Structures are given as structure tokens and as C-alpha cells.
Structure 1
Amino acid sequence: MTDSHQTWWSRAVFYQAYPRSFRDSNGDGVGDLDGITGELDYLAGLGVDALWLNPVMVSPMADHGYDVADPRDVDPLFGSLDALDRLVEAAHARGIKVTMDLVPNHTSSQHPWFQAALAAGPGSTQRNRYVFRDGRGDGGLHPPNNWVSVFGGPAWTRVTESDGNPGQWYLHLFDAEQPDLNWDNPEVFDDLEKTLRFWLERGVDGFRIDVAHGMSKPPGLPDMRVPDLTMLSHDEDDPRFNHDGVHDIHRSIRTVLNDHPDAVTIGEIWVFKNEDFAKYLRPDELHLGFNFRLVRAEFDADEVREAIENSLAAADLAGSPPTWTLSNHDVEREVSRYGGGPTGLARARAMALVMLALPGAVFVYNGEELGLPNVDLPDDVLQDPVWERSGHEERGRDGCRVPMPWSGDTPPFGFSSTADTWLPMPADWSTLTVEAQDGDPDSTLTLFRNAIELRHGRGELGSNVEWLDMPHGVLAFRGTDGLTCVLNTRSDPVAVPAGELLIASAPLVDGALAPAAAAWFR
């Protein structure tokens, strides 16, 4: 069996391109596949090894593509299969791999299977592809259990049967337009296998698996103990997720991937007990798993160290390379998470150096390399289903999905030829554009380019780090190759170790590391 620590993905820098927000090639205000293809030289210059594309399959876009109506075709909003082929070919020509999002937990309610299930009625083979149940109470008036949707509200919706009467309920852990599949039905995996092979045979290099800890549901669908949890909060006894049956599904997926030994699967795993997390990374399951501890850590030396130690321990339990990320399309951008403004940006730059110094695979979310903050959008433009399902109490994830600024002084900053972009862009982003930062030695973009170049030039990264004794509020670790990373979360400068300064997120202060800064030494 191939040593997972010697594969292309074991230390790769992945770039998450959120397609509708990366670059618009046709002037409709929404980013697309040809827009990504047109900026591959930018990504090659950044130094990334691989792309992760959020879903581009056919979808009504109730959840921006995570409600898939046809998993083996490209939605016209993003282009076509030909556009996907062009992207894969052009990326490969630059040495960049392409991975796609896979959504196996649910389909769109517009998927032909679900439409057939509604028409066929209770007890049918068509309904058995999904999780339909009779309701509780008189006339089935109440949902089958007390599960809640990750997006807010109940996880069940009642259908109107063909005779016009209220009928069964169907499960949706997310939006009502995302019915959960019944993974106890062999037909479901058979169809997923067709999807996997379809994209792999087109040259795609692997998949990020959405809600990889979902899919399998416990027998009897028992009530939740705490019926108000989201996917980002957790309860070890939450019956909606992390049921043991999910591992059989991942083993089945791996049998398909084994026919394409250079391809990778990366699971979105919101599981926080290391022993449980490691199960997903056994040799016959996923290759990599997103560990979100670093995302959840405050800008505090002790919290960051604890997150790193936990992530390394979980990966070590499975013999798998660790993964690191500070942001994605589901969480507040780190500049804002760390306090916003100049302070938040300084901390985000420092944490970028910490992340890029660690062994394993790294995931950079588009715009992170520009130091983009979250955007406080007006109510009337919010599109995330979380906003509606929470009764306008949770603003959702739109603020981290605002399009990328490329050039110019006013919106749409070169993202599109129309200012009417799918989400509005802040008027004050002119200093954050790629054009404004390109060639500026002090810019965040230059920091990322230089750090990624240094990372690629390093020798063996190993699978662990050596911690160094430092004053309270300071974190320092040494890699297998001798590179030392120091992070200062204090409010005063701190002395740095002896050695050559390779890169710093902020200038040294009389030879000392500035507050809210990180640096690499050799």
C-alpha cells in the first residue's frame, strides 16, 4: 500500500475556489468555470498544488449548489462539461490538480428520484431511496422525531400526497429542498459509484466529501438529547451524525478510488473526539479529513497549541497526514474572527504563517490570500437558507462569500463586467485587490506567495513538530527540517530564537517579534 505521507496530496497546498465568487467570465455577475481557468496563472503564481471546487453540478441553487439535481453534469450557471474539461486540462498543464465537491448525504428536491418518490407514494421503491416516515400523533400530525435542521427549524417536512391529503414526512438535515438519501438502500451507492467514475474518468483528481460524518442514520431514528445543535456545535450523542454505519459507505467509496490510485478523498468531518475522527482515516476509508480545531481556536498561544496538538494526535492515530485550514465558505473569515480591522488582519497574517509551517496538507480559501474580511451585508441581499430558516436570527454565511476583488478602484473590482454581482462588493476594497497587492513587498498576497514558495522548498516535513519553551503568550515549534515558527499573541514584542529570519508577518521591532506576529527562522 502507498505510504500516504509520500503522495502528492500529503503536503499539498489546496486552494478552495468558491466558483460563483472567484471570477465571472461572461458578465452575468456570477463567477464560473471559465473565470477560474482564466486565472490559473494567478493560482500557479501563488504556488498552489491543487484546486478544490465547490459544487458546480446541476442545481436549483437553494443552497448554492449543495442541492444537486444532476450529479453528472455541470450547471449552466457555471458553464458546461466542456468548460470543466478545459479547466482540468489547463490546470494539469500547470501542474495543478483539480478536486471537486461531492454531496452524498442528500439531493435536491428537484432531483428526478425525489420527484418520483413524491409521485409514487408511501411504501414505494422510489420513496425507499430517501428517509420517509409516518408522523407521530393523531393522523401523523407531528414529525417522526425531534431532530432539527443544521440550518434551523425542524429536520422534517410533511408532503401532500397525490390524493391531496397530508401524508408522510421526509428527513432533511439541511434545507427542506435537500432531502436526505437512505443509505441503507443499495441503489444509493450504485448511483454514487456512477458519479465517482464519471468525474474520475474525465480527469478529476479527487473529491472533497460534504458532510462526510453524515449519510448513515441510526436504526429507529431516536430523538436528540439536545434538539438545538448545529453542525459546528456538537454533542457526542447527536444521533444525526457520526453513526458507525457511515464507515461502510466510506469503505465502498474507497474501493472505487482504488481504481484511480493517484486520486484523493478529503472528508468534511465535524467530529471532535480524536478516536472517532481517526476512524474516518483508516487505510480503507478517506485519505484526508478536515480537522476544524484550528478554525475554532481563538488568537491565543495556548489555544492554538492545543488545536495543533489535537490535530496532530488525531492524524497520528490514523497514520494519515494532518490537514490545516483557517477559513472556508461556511465560517466567518479569520480577519473578522480575530477582531477585524488592522488587528484582525495582523493576526490573520500571523496565523497564515503558523498554518503554512505545519506538516501535512493546507487549504486556503479564495480571498484569504488577500486578507479579505467578512462583509456585513444588508438584510435584503442575504441568500443563505440559514437566514430564512432561522427566522432572520442567524445571518448565515453570505458574508464570507462575497466575490474576489481583482483590480480597479470601484466595485466590481474586475470580478465581472457588471457591477450587479450576485452579492454586492464593499466600495472600500480598492486596497485589497490583487492588482493593488501584486508586487507590494508588504502585502498579504506577497506574504502568502513567499510563504508557500518557502514551504515548497523545504525538505521532509515529517508528521509532527517539536515544541520549544517560550514565555507565556508565545508559541514556537520546530519542524523535522529544522525550520522554527514563532507566534507572538502578546501585546508586547518578544525575543526571537537565534538563526536566519526567513519570513515574518510584520517587521521585527529592534530585533524582536512584534505583537500579533509570526516568523520563520532557520
Structure 2
Amino acid sequence: MTSPRPTTLDAGTVLANDPDWWRQAAVYQIYPRSFADANGDGIGDLRGITSRIPYLVELGVDAVWLSPFYPSALADGGYDVDDYRDVDPKIGTLAEFDEMIAALHAAGIRLIADIVPNHSSNRHEWFREALASPRGSAARDRYIFRDGEGPDGAQPPSDWQSIFGGPAWEPVGDGQFYLHLFAPEQPDLNWANREVRDDFLKTLRFWSDRGVDGFRVDVAHALAKDLTYPLRSHAELEATKLATDGSHPLWDREELDDIYAEWRAVFDEYDPPRIAVAEAWVEPTRRHRYAAPTSLGQAFNFDLLRANFDAGEFHEIVDRNMVFAGETGSSNTWVFSNHDVVRHATRYGLPADHSGEGDVGKQWLLAGGDPAAVDLELGLRRARAATLFLLALPGSAYLYQGEELGLPEVAEIPDASRQDPTFFRNHGVEVGRDGCRVPLPWVAGAPSFGFGPTDAAHLPQPAWFSSYAVDVQDADPDSTLNLYRRALALRHELQGTEKLSWVTLPTETPDVLAFQRPGGWIVVTNFGDATATLPLELTNLELLVSSVPGGLTAAGELPAAATVWLR
């Protein structure tokens, strides 16, 4: 049903009215404060994004996922939201937002907005009202306030720890505490409160009416909570963090189904329906709930992001997720990097396994981020091969700004310049995520490497950024940037089909994977450290694109850590 409300911008008038556009989309994540700075204050802004739309068009992406752009004190990089229906004046205005989305749509690029429903900021008008109101008030019921424990009420309601370190309960001085699963500046909202639920439906309509095509839902698995007394201990919660029966009091509860069914009803008011993708760190068997057509419709899988550069792991992950997509009627979401993790060009250059909770990228940062510990050449070579593998898979591909430049993680950030709350609250356990959020290099010889018209940059850019700048890579036909451009252009020929079949290879090539897509496309990746001999029937095919210059050798061999697309 088409929304009866007047719209500032109707995406359907400037883009093809395709309800399934998201299924095979290449989505480019923009962290707005670090993408492009138009006014020279060192903070990326909306006008900066608008000015770079020709770059996005040439890159070949179908949509932009815009990380939070709302008014914020930046206690957590913008994920502490003061007002869900406005733009941070440091990065723009609502009028500039309208200009940006109109320009994106005119260029054939859709916009996915980040929405942060688990918590507001402590500067939100609701929270300020809650602090000024007595216990038991309607204002406090929008959040999660509880009485303190102990004879004088000075002890927190439980020993829970926040994700960013330190206690998860913050005292307010009158015997009560409020819950914050993340930073103290991010009080958790009470999603059992009807007013909270209705206000977010209003927010979804506010941005959808302005032409936003969809939403990335932050911490989608945390909204519903069971705070029935007695509260379990922190140790008990940690022991059951990935419960698969919806019984955990804080994560992945069954009540989420009702919340997201209401969101889906709002999305379906529009033509085409607005889409959503859940950030839900849950067991793979539980992702179905978020990806269902009656719910958000799509859920991130971080399986490849957490995998080693290993043929067996990649094979198993692809198989499992292809089954998942078939069972849910959704499409897969493939990703290697984002604003929360060490860039994959660095992870792949580290000597140890980097899978699972013991992320070697994190361990490398904690050890001081020694550049000598990273094989930059190997890391980039593997990253290029893995990305070419990913871009050929059925489903949507989520790319993080700067990965198309092959950017490594920036480790050499002085303590005084760091911004991530995990660094300050968990020092010695977490170094933080600033290293993947450093402003991008656009022009090698320009102030702030072309990020803005001045030398200002909200995080320090290292001197070695010059060799990764867009203008340098633009002139090099073998650059990582030009590899992404070629692959994304070819990828559009694969859209419209979600099928994949594995190609049987000789048993002496266990480090090589090959799969076929309809239309005669065959994708071959060598995950090993040595050149691999391919069957003759593959070496005689047309080479479309290769992650390494030249592709196959004269003898028809595939170099180590390389991917080719053949037809």
C-alpha cells in the first residue's frame, strides 16, 4: 500500500520501483564523520558526502548505509542519539539531508539509515525529563530505572557489566540506578513501554517520508528485556549469552517478534516497501527470526568476517548461509569489514588465526599494533582475493568505506587522540575501534589528504595514507580501487539470480574453491600459499577479472591467495 502521507521525497519517482532491489545490492557503508569534510572543520559532513556521489557512482554501488548522523555528544561515535528526527548541526541540516538523498536517488543510489533503538543518549529530552522526575513516574518508565540494593540503596541492582566495560547500572543520586548495556551516556530504553514503541514508529515514518529506502537496525537483538527479580548474576548471563531458546533476559528474546512485526507494518505502507537489516549477534539458527518477511527481512551474517582465510571455512559458511537464505526467503548479507572491527586487509596479514571471539586483530592492537607484525603485502593480497570471492556470491554485499582502497588499520593513534569509549572504560582489555574510523585519503598531496580543505581531521591520519589515496589509485589500473570498480560493474550482470553450484576440482587442490553462477560464470579462489594447477577446462575460459595482475599464469596456474572470475 502506498503511504497516504505527503512525502518530501518519494524514492519511487527517481528510482525503479523494485521491491527486491536489496536482495543483490552492493551497499557501501559511510561513517559520515570520516568520509568527506566540506567545510574544513575536521568532521565529515552531509555536503561532503553529496560532493562525493560521482565517486560512488563510478565505484558502482547500489546503496549507501549511512552510520548515525543525528545530534550527538559523540560519546560513542554518534550511537548516542540526542534526537532521532534531526541532523547533528556539526554535520549538516535536514535541508542538506534532503539535498543529499535527492542527489543519491538521482544517481540511482538508495539510502539505508542507521537507527539506534536500544538506547538514546543521556542528553535526549526524555532522559533529561526522567532525571528531573520522581521514581515511579511515567518519564522514568520510558527507561529502565531500578532501586538500589543494600540497606541504604547504594548498591546497584545487580553486578552486570556493560559491553564497553564497567558497571551496567548508573546511580542517579536518589536511590535509583538506570541500565546502560553500553556507555553511561547511552541509557537503555524500555521497550515494554507503549510510548517508546509508538515514538519509534513515528521515527521510521519520519525518515521514510523523506525518501530513506531502509534501515540498518543497531543491536537489534537487545530491545526486549526480562528484568524480573531476582536478577541473575553477571556470571550466569555470560554463561548463557547465546541461548537459543529466547530465555536470556537481555538478548534475543521472543518479544522482539511483536516489536518488529509492528515495524514491518510501517515498512509495508510504502511502495516499494522500506527494507531493514538487523545487526543481531546471535546464534546462526536464531537469525531466521530477524530475516523473516514478517520481521526486518534481512540480518547480517558476520561469519566470513570472523573466518580465517581458509577454503574449508569459506565453503562451510557459504553452504550454511545458502540454506539459511532458502529457508527464510531472505537473501544473504556478506561482509568483511565495518566500523566496529579491524580492517580485513590488516587481519589477513597477521600470522595467527583471527576467527571467533579471540580476534587476532584485537590482540594485535592490545599488543601495541606493531606494524612489523603485519605482512601488509600478504594481507592486501588475501583481502583482494576474499573480496572478489564475496562479490560473486548470491546475496547482498556490504562494503565499508576505505576497503576499496585496501586501507589497513591505523594503529598509531596517540592515547590523547582516541575517541572510542571502549578505550577509556576498558583500558588494557580493549583498544577501541578508532583505527578503522580515520578520515579517508582522497588526494595524496592535499591538506588532510583531501578529506577536507584544511589540515583538520578529527582522528590523526598517518603519513603512509598518501600511497592509498584515491587520486593515486585512480591512475593505477591494477590498484585495489580499480579492482573494486571492475568487479562491481561486472557484478550487475549477475543480479537477478540467487543460485550457486560448486565446481568439483581435483583432490590435489584442497586449498582451491570454485563455484559457478548462472550464465557460465565460474569463480575460482586459491586460499593456499602455493600456485595451484587448474583443470584444462577452466584455463580455457575467458578471464573477466582477477585479484592479481595478469590472472592465471602462462601455464594455466592460479597464483597463491588469488581469485579469478571466468566465463
TM-score with structure 2 setting the length: 0.87
The answer on whether the counterparts of 2:311 and 2:527 sit within 8 Å (CA) in structure 1 is yes
* Cα distance in structure 1, aligned partners of 2:463 and 2:488: 30
* Counterpart secondary structure, 1:154: coil
* Cα distance in structure 1, aligned partners of 2:238 and 2:67: 24
Alpha-carbon shift at residue 227 of structure 1 (Å)? 6.6
1:244 to 241, 254, 272: 254
* Cα distance in structure 2, aligned partners of 1:280 and 1:250: 8
The answer on whether the counterparts of 2:444 and 2:465 sit within 8 Å (CA) in structure 1 is no
The answer on whether the counterparts of 2:502 and 2:516 sit within 8 Å (CA) in structure 1 is yes
* Superposed counterparts of 1:34-113, under 5 Å: 34-113=47-126
* Cα distance in structure 1, aligned partners of 2:332 and 2:514: 18
Alpha-carbon shift at residue 289 of structure 1 (Å)? 1.0
* Cα distance in structure 2, aligned partners of 1:107 and 1:397: 21
1:513 to 526, 534, 558: 558
- The one-letter amino acid of 1:519's match is V
- The one-letter amino acid of 1:344's match is G
1:198 to 206, 210, 222: 206
Give the equivalent residue in structure 1 for 2:296.
286
Alpha-carbon shift at residue 239 of structure 1 (Å)? 3.3
- The one-letter amino acid of 2:440's match is M
* Counterpart secondary structure, 2:113: strand
Pair 1:502–1:68, CA change in 2 (3 A): same
* Cα distance in structure 1, aligned partners of 2:465 and 2:433: 19
* Counterpart secondary structure, 2:27: strand
Alpha-carbon shift at residue 146 of structure 1 (Å)? 3.0
The answer on whether the counterparts of 1:332 and 1:400 sit within 8 Å (CA) in structure 2 is yes
1:309 to 303, 319, 337: 319
Give the equivalent residue in structure 2 for 1:425.
461
* Cα distance in structure 2, aligned partners of 1:298 and 1:398: 23
Give the equivalent residue in structure 2 for 1:476.
514
**TM-align CA RMSD:** 2.1
The answer on whether the counterparts of 2:444 and 2:467 sit within 8 Å (CA) in structure 1 is no
Give the equivalent residue in structure 2 for 1:384.
420
1:223 aligns with 2:261: no
Alpha-carbon shift at residue 230 of structure 1 (Å)? 12
The answer on whether the counterparts of 2:160 and 2:234 sit within 8 Å (CA) in structure 1 is no
1:184 aligns with 2:228: no
Question: Which is further off, 384-393 or 134-143?
Answer: 134-143
* Counterpart secondary structure, 2:171: strand
Alpha-carbon shift at residue 224 of structure 1 (Å)? 5.1
Give the equivalent residue in structure 1 for 2:450.
414
The answer on whether the counterparts of 1:224 and 1:239 sit within 8 Å (CA) in structure 2 is no
2:379 to 339, 344, 347: 344
Alpha-carbon shift at residue 144 of structure 1 (Å)? 1.7
* Cα distance in structure 2, aligned partners of 1:87 and 1:504: 34
* Cα distance in structure 2, aligned partners of 1:311 and 1:66: 29
* Cα distance in structure 2, aligned partners of 1:457 and 1:151: 43
The answer on whether the counterparts of 1:88 and 1:98 sit within 8 Å (CA) in structure 2 is yes
- The one-letter amino acid of 2:213's match is D
1:486 aligns with 2:497: no
* Counterpart secondary structure, 1:73: coil
TM-score with structure 1 setting the length: 0.94
Give the equivalent residue in structure 2 for 1:154.
167
Please list the CA deviations of residues 461-499 of structure 1 after superposition, one character each: whole Å capped at 9, or x if unmatched: 324443534522222211233322111111111123242
The answer on whether the counterparts of 1:5 and 1:321 sit within 8 Å (CA) in structure 2 is no
* Cα distance in structure 2, aligned partners of 1:426 and 1:252: 46
Aligned length: 513
The answer on whether the counterparts of 1:149 and 1:230 sit within 8 Å (CA) in structure 2 is no
* Cα distance in structure 2, aligned partners of 1:366 and 1:313: 29
Alpha-carbon shift at residue 382 of structure 1 (Å)? 0.9
Give the equivalent residue in structure 2 for 1:164.
none
The answer on whether the counterparts of 2:524 and 2:563 sit within 8 Å (CA) in structure 1 is yes
Pair 1:378–1:281, CA change in 2 (3 A): same
* Cα distance in structure 2, aligned partners of 1:411 and 1:335: 25
1:253 aligns with 2:286: no
* Cα distance in structure 2, aligned partners of 1:5 and 1:359: 18
* Cα distance in structure 2, aligned partners of 1:140 and 1:235: 32
Pair 1:474–1:246, CA change in 2 (3 A): same
Give the equivalent residue in structure 1 for 2:368.
none
Alpha-carbon shift at residue 418 of structure 1 (Å)? 2.2
- Is there any run of 5+ residues in structure 1 with no aligned partner, and where? 162-166
Give the equivalent residue in structure 2 for 1:269.
280
1:503 aligns with 2:545: yes
- The one-letter amino acid of 1:186's match is R
